[in-house]
């Protein structure tokens, strides 16, 4: 195991257990280190600080995964990490009503760069970094031993692999067999999930608690679900007693699966309208219609810091248009999954829009990550999701 020395003035974040080590924090970096190589981090006096893997010679050089100097990095290392994460989810998330959740949340579960989502008896895996990619075989073996899934499918097809890590995208079966559509259970509702072709790993598991919260607001309401994807919020709205619901998404395939999810839960599809359109265009052209409740759950408009201004224009646009077509005492459930937009900045953006549309906004509830997306205290960079329930 390679030993790397942390500069005295740069040791604070490591001591406070931040999972990233930047190149300028290291006294020196040996040549010819391969991605994934296990490393020991020591202080200027030779004292052990942490262990991790070398990722690359770029800005984030080491990603930390442990604080036990004697821990060996083999299949059992991954078994131990996965077991710990699994126990938390089984105790606080899994139940007779929910069988699907995020099992491994990267740095936050001490496996930096790795995402694993559990869909019923199947697992979907994403390797985000060069370093974790090297340990894929050990991780798969550990998952088989620990979780005993019927199949494991890889969806390492995210933009950051090519743009940042210089890795080719990888998708395909890693173990067992995985059907084209998996039926999962969430809070007592059933959903078809396309883990092979769907967005992200197939389903937005991080919105489970927000969908549950929606139930209390929808009775007898006319609901507009924007960026509806496969209709999860629409299912909850109908189950909660919505009078009618309009689902808008740019993907016709997603809307078809949304229809199937309505039917799967034996809900009245006659109360539903499905519109395949760009949400911004739809909101702009629907100004003569009014809704009692609007859900805005867009993709990340701010992909990186350089595009923050452009992304803010997008968030302002959809939220202003939504506020203008809300009825008096209407509810806006608005979300952002952009890591580069803080919760405070998102709130301030909405405050400005309230003044612009001349409506007083009351924040009823605020949500961030769910239990299965737990965050390490020092890892502020891992924050991304925020959701406000607002009454006008």
Residue 104 contacts residue 82 (beta carbons within 8 Å): yes
Residue 227 contacts residue 208 (beta carbons within 8 Å): no
Q: Say what the pLDDT of residue 287 is.
A: 78
Mean model confidence pLDDT for the chain: 96
Class assignment of domain 2-66? mainly beta
Residue 55 contacts residue 129 (beta carbons within 8 Å): yes
Strand order of the sheet with strand 48-54? 2-5, 38-42, 48-54, 60-66, 20-22
Q: Say what the pLDDT of residue 79 is.
A: 98
pTM: 0.96
Q: Say what the pLDDT of residue 160 is.
A: 84
Residue 75 contacts residue 146 (beta carbons within 8 Å): no
Distances (CA, A) of 282 to 93, 194, 310, 314: 36, 26, 20, 14
The residues spanned by each domain of the chain are 2-66, 75-182, 204-391
| Tokens coding 98 | 């929910």
Residue 333 contacts residue 294 (beta carbons within 8 Å): yes
Distances (CA, A) of 391 to 163, 224, 328: 40, 15, 9
Class assignment of domain 204-391? alpha beta
| Tokens coding 74 | 């083999």
Domain over 75-182 is classified CATH 1.20.120.530:
no
Read off the pLDDT of residues 270-284 as tens digits, 9 standing for 90 and up: 999 999 999 999 999
| Tokens coding 209 | 């608690």
Residue 304's pLDDT band (cuts 50, 70, 90)? confident
Mean pLDDT on 139-148: 98
Count helices and strands (H / E) in the chain. Answer: 11, 19
Mean pLDDT on 111-139: 97
Task: Please check the confidence at residue 65 and state whether its pLDDT lies above 90.
Answer: yes
- Residue 237 CA to residue 217 CA, distance in Å, equals 8
Residue 389's pLDDT band (cuts 50, 70, 90)? very high
What DSSP letter does each residue of 287-329 carry, written as one string? TT--EEEEEE-PPPS-SSGGGHHHHHHHHHHHHHHHHHTEEEE
- Residue 251 CA to residue 323 CA, distance in Å, equals 24
User: CB 15: neighbour CB atoms within 10 A?
Assistant: 12
Residue 233's pLDDT band (cuts 50, 70, 90)? very high
Task: Please check the confidence at residue 164 and state whether its pLDDT lies above 90.
Answer: no
- Residue 190 CA to residue 97 CA, distance in Å, equals 9
Buried b (16+ CB within 10 A) or exposed e, 261-295: bbeebebeeebbebbeeebeebbeebeeeebbbbb
Task: Please check the confidence at residue 165 and state whether its pLDDT lies above 90.
Answer: no
Closest CA to 331 of 360, 294, 283, 386: 294
Read off the pLDDT of residues 337-365 as tens digits, 9 standing for 90 and up: 999 999 999 999 999 999 999 999 999 99
Q: Say what the pLDDT of residue 174 is.
A: 98
Angle between helices 343-357 and 308-324 (to 10 degrees): 40
Distances (CA, A) of 220 to 139, 239, 361: 48, 11, 22
Is 204-391 the same fold as 75-182?
no
Closest CA to 56 of 133, 126, 115, 1: 133
Largest separation between any pair of C-alpha atoms in the chain: 71
């Amino acid at each position: 195991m390679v030993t790397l020395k942390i500069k005295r003035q740069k040791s604070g974040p490591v001591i406070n257990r931040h999972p990233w080590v930047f190149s300028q924090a290291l006294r020196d970096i040996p040549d010819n280190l391969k991605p994934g190589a296990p490393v020991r981090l020591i202080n200027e006096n030779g004292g052990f600080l942490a262990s991790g893997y070398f990722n690359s010679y770029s800005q984030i050089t080491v990603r930390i995964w442990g604080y036990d100097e004697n821990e060996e990095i083999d299949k059992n290392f991954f078994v131990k990490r996965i077991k710990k994460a699994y126990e938390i989810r089984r105790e606080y998330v899994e139940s007779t009503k929910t069988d699907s959740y995020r099992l491994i949340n990267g740095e936050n579960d001490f496996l930096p760069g790795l995402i694993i989502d559990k869909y019923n008896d199947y697992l979907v895996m994403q390797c985000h970094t060069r370093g974790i990619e090297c340990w894929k075989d050990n991780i798969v073996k550990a998952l088989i031993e620990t979780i005993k899934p019927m199949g494991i499918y890889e969806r390492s097809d995210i933009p950051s692999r090519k743009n940042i890590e210089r890795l080719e995208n990888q998708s395909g079966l890693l173990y067992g067999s995985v059907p084209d559509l998996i039926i999962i259970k969430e809070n007592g509702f059933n959903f078809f999930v396309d883990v092979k072709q769907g967005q992200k790993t197939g389903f937005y598991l991080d919105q489970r608690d927000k969908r549950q919260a929606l139930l209390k607001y929808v009775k007898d309401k006319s609901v507009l679900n924007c960026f509806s994807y496969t209709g999860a919020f629409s299912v909850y709205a109908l189950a909660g007693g919505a009078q009618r619901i309009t689902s808008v998404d740019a993907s016709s395939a997603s809307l078809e699966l949304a229809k199937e999810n309505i039917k799967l839960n034996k809900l009245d599809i006659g109360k539903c309208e499905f519109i395949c359109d760009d949400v911004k265009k739809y909101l702009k052209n629907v100004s003569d219609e009014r809704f009692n409740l609007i859900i805005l759950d867009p993709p990340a408009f701010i992909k990186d810091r350089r595009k923050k201004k452009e992304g803010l224009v997008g968030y302002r646009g959809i939220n202003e248009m939504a506020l203008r077509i809300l009825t008096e005492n209407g509810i806006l459930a608005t979300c952002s999954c952009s890591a580069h937009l803080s919760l405070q900045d998102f709130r301030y953006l909405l405050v400005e829009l309230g003044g612009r549309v001349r409506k007083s906004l009351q924040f009823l509830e605020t949500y961030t990550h769910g239990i299965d997306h737990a965050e390490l205290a020092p890892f502020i960079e891992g924050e991304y999701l925020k959701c406000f329930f607002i009454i006008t």
